[in-house]
Every structure is written in structure tokens, then in C-alpha cells.
Structure 1
């Protein structure tokens, strides 16, 4: 892994220059009047609606997408919605091996957006009085102590906002297994937590923000015990079916033959592997949801509009701890209203982000499959250390701030 990272230094430098150029354009466009930006030329291929309700294209998103294609990304998909109007676009190929054009309705790894969905199912249990945010995890999941050896009490709330101090598992997994084998290994909730528990807790970090996918594995274990069903089935009944999210799942088995799944690849030891639905992410309650940008926007609009949780519970979810994290939500400044956007972003073999206003009237969901020569992605599923993900985040924010 270290040798691979070193060999990519020059590529990353070139990518960073392109990334900075895209971000400069995004921020320049967003710093003007707060109206939706127009462009003179249409995109080379579009999936936008031709109706009067369609928005003009976003030059910020369009520029970014072409930059990523030039960098080697197989595909980029984006959907922007503003007060009932929509602009959506797909760039690149669903599969670089076949050259099949990508569609906006093709599915992606939603990554950390999974955590917002799991948090909703946890908070539904809180609303029903079956769970308390300040309750100790061991009250509902006694095995937690044996699996991860916490140095003190851990609450439900601290799992939701990543303040538990719980270590994550990737370092231990990559020490135990070669990278390709790690990607090809499916981890049960207990297996994943056991690996996380083999990493020492840092007492200085206890009760401070420390991002860890293991938090959401523990939450999924609790939801499964209280509901008596797999976490994927709970998400389906709590969210996917009621909202008509027919392209979204947290499946127990991958669907690698699906014709609507964007393909992502990575080179490991000189071999290109398909990482579109790797075993490592199958059924992961932290990163494993498969969805579309349209379904993701549907979810966050419903959440912000109070169709999934009560107003009091939603306010609890939006309450920040550190690093702009609430209970399964992230927050960014909304320059149009002097308020906030809520949503989530994360990085697997795709980079995905979604931002929604507090009333759900303005939204963006955007995702791309990483170039196959990028060093990915077991180590930093929150997007940290990935310049492409940081570029995506800045472009999404700049685009939203131009949609007043």
C-alpha cells in the first residue's frame, strides 16, 4: 500500500492542480448574484427533462464532471432540484469495458449517506420509547463490551454522532489481510466490531469526535435486536418503501449482474478488480446502501419536511456535536438564507454527497466512480485524505449557494 501511494504522487499533484481550477471556477460562479447560473452551450449529452419545469444546466457541476472524466473517472451523475424544477445529468460510461453510456437513474454506492438512513431507523425506535439516546449501548447489545472493550460507558447518542471514541476496523483489517483479500471479505457486524476492538482506544479521544464506521455497525446490531429483522429489511420498511425509493437497498447479497449499476474499478498489485459491489461493503450499515441520486434527494427532502421523523426528533438529529456532525447528519452554511444545508458525504469506491435545505426546496445529490488509479478506500470512508472528494464537497456547496 505504501509503495502504491508513493508511485501515485505525481498523479495526485496533477490532479490537485485540476481540482483547484475546478473549485476556483465553482467559487467564482457562486460568488455572484444569488440566481441560478446559465450557460450558452448545452452539455454534450443530457438526461434533463425538456419540460418547462426543467432547470438550466449547472456550469459548476458540468465543469467538475468533465474534469473528473478527464482525470479518468468512469462516470459522474448529478441531480439538482429547486422548488419543483430539476436538472439532472449523467456523464461517462456505466461500464468502461462495454462503453455503455451512463444514465442518471443508474445506481451507485451511497457510502456514508447510509448513516443518515440508519440514524432515522434508530430515532424511530427512540420516538416509540423502545430506546433512549442517553441509554448505554450494553443495555441493548451486551456483547458490545466483549467485542470492543470500551474504557467507559458508551451511549446511543455517542454512536450516532461519532463521539464514542470507538476505534475503526480498517487498519486492523489491512494488517490482517492483503488488500485484495480484504476487499473480497464480507464482515458480519460482530466480525467488524471485533476487528475494531483490536485497535486500542485512545483515552484522550474518548467522548470527542472520532469518525468510525464501527459506530454504525453497533447501532445496526441494536436495531436488529429490537426489530427482530436484518437492518436492510428495517430500512426498507422504514424508508425505502414508504418513499417509493425503488432503486435503493441495503441488500444482504450483491446484485453484480444488475444492468443499472455503475461499475467502479481499482488496480491492486497490477490487477484491475471490479469494486462496484465489493464484499467488504455488502450489507454494511455504515457504507453499504446502493441507490441513485434521485432516490437520495427523495430521502433527504422527506427527512427535512418531517415525513420520516417528528419535528422534535429531527431537531435532535440536526444538533451538532463536532466536525459539523449531528445524529447521522452533516451540516454546511447556506449563504442564500443564512441558514444551513443538511445531508451527508462519504467515499468508498464512489464519492457521493447530498445537500438539502431545511425545507427541502433546494437539493443536490452528486456522485462519481473514482478513477481506477486512485488509492482507495477502505482507509478513509469519510472522504478524509481524498482530494477528489474534497473537490466534490466544495463544488456541491458552491452549486447550492448559486440556487437562491
Structure 2
């Protein structure tokens, strides 16, 4: 598939950037309908492979997709398409990729680990830890930030932020000042009164973690998450360069695809979506995170106090929200995890509640309800079939 040069599509791409659809998520209506719960046979490996091939061939579909299913010591990798249209190289579990809003699960892992160590409390407020933030925000608690009931206005939707991204996608933001873009705004609603997904929430979580420990968030990630779970290829950069090798991300609408892997930097999403990882590392992460490897059972129970709310984009089946974690109830059973989408990438990580079985599902274009709802419906159906294969007794 030929690649169109960047200059010929710059105007359309800038419109996408100005629309605020690149910093971790494109915000859309959260009342997503569930995929079908009607009885259906569990798909076998050949069926799953064909579904990936069909996803790649679909109008606006991703040039590449890779899925990792792990059941105890058994790991299966299915892939379709290519990691790089220029070379034709196939996707690998060791390819780096932008993980988009699945990075919010990492901020949850840091925060809950600090709660477990009594450095933070779930009922601690922004006013107590970050008194420099607007007084109107001071009553918001860590729990409300983690389950998106804070009411914080989303900095990534501010016109000033979007204008900067549009003018200079490589702009280096001060990640710790991202909330300044909405510091003149009141809360969208009283804290705890409703659910609304916001990128500001996880920026505030990271700032609370830094304030509680006096340690940079990047170091907290290394100490509390990467090292305990054995993540060797995961990082939170500031720039726009991708480490080699990497899954190239593409803008596929309109065709032909344009490589947008390095169009934007990570400083503008930071704790809400800036992490770079690999399918192999994300598989290790979701198994340990969901399985409770990082903190005690009392916090696992707190994390799983479900409320109405969907991840963005919606995951397979019916969605419910917890603390930096979502519950996906499919026709075959329940998995817990997180999704994300950003320019060039869409992600799903999920695991059984005990963490023993997991799914990492990565595609190399941005898919969400606002830009391509039909493709999102197709993606969710395929993801649900992969969940069914993961949960089946036979493993097929």
C-alpha cells in the first residue's frame, strides 16, 4: 500500500489535531451499547486469524494488528498485516507502540501502590495534596479521580491546548502544568455525582503521587510498576521519537494510509496516555495489575467497586468503571482491563479477575465512536470473540 506524503494531507491532519483527538482519547458519548450476548460458538484459532485478516482489509482498517492470549504458561500470538508498510515487516510482541489511555491503568497502579504503603489515601483531596490548584477543585478525592467522577474539566479539550498541538504537534509541554489550560474553569459537576471520562483526572493522580513522595512520576513508575512486574521495554518519554523496533501507527482515513507514528510528542499526554510499551510488556502488566500483584486484597476490592461508565473507546461487552480499571462483561464471561486510542493506535488490555489469563490487542490506527463507529463496532465484536477464546476451557 503506498504512503502519501505528509504535505499533501497536512491540512486534514491539522484538523484532526485541532479537534483534540490525539492526546490519549477522543471523547465521545459514553453510553455505549453492549455487543450481542446471544449464544455463539467459541472461535478457534483459524477463525480468530481470519477475523484479524478481515479487520485489516476493512475500509479504514489498521495496516497491522497483533493479539497476545496468555493462559498460565501458554502464550499464543496472532497477527495480521504489517508493522511497517514501507518494509512489509510483520508485527512482533517486542515492537514498541503508543499505549494511549491504557497508560491510565499505570497511574492507577502507582496511586494504589502508594495507598497500600500509606503514603496516600483514597479519600485524600486535591486541596490537601495540591493546594495550588483552583480552590473550586479542592474537594475532589483521589478515588474520584481514579473512577472519573471528579468533574475536572478536560485540559485536552481546551481550545488553547488544541491550537498549540495544531500549530506544532512536536511542541514540548511542561507535563506538570497541563492542568493550567483549564485552571480558570469550574468543575463540570459536583464531585462524585456522575461519571465523565477526563484526561485531567490522571494528570492530577500523578501530581498527587509526586506530592506525596517527593519523587518524579517517571521514577515512581519504574520503582512501583516496571520493576515488580518485570517490564523491560516500557517508558514514559517526553519527545515524539519512537524506539526501534516499533509498530508504525497510521491515519487510514482517507486512504492511502499516512504514517503518523511520530507526529505528536508524549509530553502533552504524560500520565493520561504518554507511555510507550510493547505487547509482551503489556501482557505482563495487565496480568499483574488485574491479578493484584502490586497491592493487597483490600485495595483490589476497593478498585472493583463498579459504577456505570465505559472506557474510551468502549471495550467488549457491557462496560463498568472502577478505579483505573474497567469491567467488560461479554457473552462468555467477565474480564477486567482498559482501552485507549490515540493518533495511529488503538489498544485493549484485559485479564481474568485472578490475572491468570490475559489478552493484549493492539491495532495500528485510531478507532473510536466519533471517527469510525462502524469500524469500532466491528473491532469490539472481534475483541469479544478473542475474550471468548481466552475464557474457553479448551483454550481455542
Check 1:118–1:319 CA distance in 2 against 1; reply closer, same or farther (3 A cut): same
Residue segments in structure 1 that go unaligned for 5+ positions in a row = 9-25, 39-56, 375-379
1:335 to partner: Cα distance: 4.5
Within-5 A mapping of 1:274-289 = 274-276=260-262, 278-280=264-266, 284-289=270-275
Deviation for aligned residue 1:280: 4.8
Secondary structure, aligned partner of 1:86: strand
Deviations 1:142-173 (A, max 9, x none): 12226xx43x6111111010000111122214
Deviation of 1:206 after TM superposition, in Å, equals: 6.4
Structure 1 residues 67, 392: closer, same or farther in 2, change over 3 A? closer
1:31 to 39, 48, 51: 39
* Structure 2 segments unaligned to the other structure (5+ residues): 1-8, 17-34, 310-319
Match of 1:395 among 382, 386, 395: 382
- Give the conservation status (yes or no) of the 8 Å contact 2:175–2:268: no
Distance in 2 separating the partners of 1:302 and 1:175: 35
Matches within 5 A, 1:9-158: 31-33=39-41, 37-38=43-44, 57=45, 59-60=47-48, 62-70=50-58, 71-145=60-134, 149-150=136-137, 153-158=139-144
Q: 2:328 aligns with which of 328, 332, 335?
A: 332
TM-aligned CA distance change 1:94 to 1:221, over 3 Å? same
State the Cα distance separating 1:208 from its structure 2 match.
Answer: 1.0
Aligned to 1:351: 346
- Which of 164, 167, 180 matches 2:166? 180
Q: Give the drift of 1:282.
A: 6.0
The 1-side partners of 2:303 and 2:102 are apart by: 14
Alpha-carbon distance in structure 2 between the residues aligned to 1:366 and 1:112: 14
Q: Distance in 1 between matches of 2:46 and 2:151?
A: 40
Structure 2 contact 49–80 (Cα < 8 Å) conserved: no
Work out the CA distance in 2 between the residues paired with 1:154 and 1:111: 24
Take 2:248 and 2:305, find their aligned partners in 1: how far apart are those partners? Answer: 36
Shift of 1:332: 1.2
Shift of 1:281: 5.1
Aligned-CA RMSD value: 3.4
Cα distance between partner residues in 2 of 1:176 and 1:290: 22
Are 1:58 and 1:399, in contact at CA under 8 Å, matched by a contact in 2? no
Alignment of 1:276-315 (within 5 A): 276=262, 278-280=264-266, 284-315=270-301
d(CA) in 2 for partners of 1:194, 1:178? 14
Deviation track 1:336-374 (CA, whole Å, cap 9, x = no partner) reads 45xx31100111121100121112232211011117xx8
Contact 1:196–1:214 under 8 Å retained in 2: no
Q: How many residues align?
A: 349
TM-score with structure 2 setting the length? 0.77
Residues 111 and 65 (structure 1 numbering): CA distance in 2 closer, same or farther, change over 3 Å?
farther
1:42 aligned residue: none
> Cα gap change, 1:27/1:263 in structure 2, threshold over 3 Å: closer, same or farther?
same
Q: Does 1:364 find its partner at 2:364?
A: no
User: In the alignment, which residue of structure 1 is the partner of 2:28?
Assistant: none
Please say if 1:318 is aligned against 2:304.
Answer: yes
- Length-normalised TM-score, structure 1: 0.76
Query: 1:224, 1:231 within 8 Å by CA — same for their partners in 2?
Result: yes
| Structure 2 CA distance for partners of 1:116 and 1:79, relative to 1, 3 Å | same
Deviations 1:155-212 (A, max 9, x none): 1111010000111122214675165335322332343211133455333786311110
CA distance in 2, matches of 1:158, 1:248: 27
Cα 1:277/1:316, change in 2 over 3 Å = farther
Q: Say if 1:347 and 1:389, in contact at 8 Å, map to a contact too.
A: no
Q: In the alignment, is the contact (CA less than 8 A) between 2:335 and 2:353 conserved in 1?
A: yes
Q: Structure 1 residues 163, 58: closer, same or farther in 2, change over 3 A?
A: farther
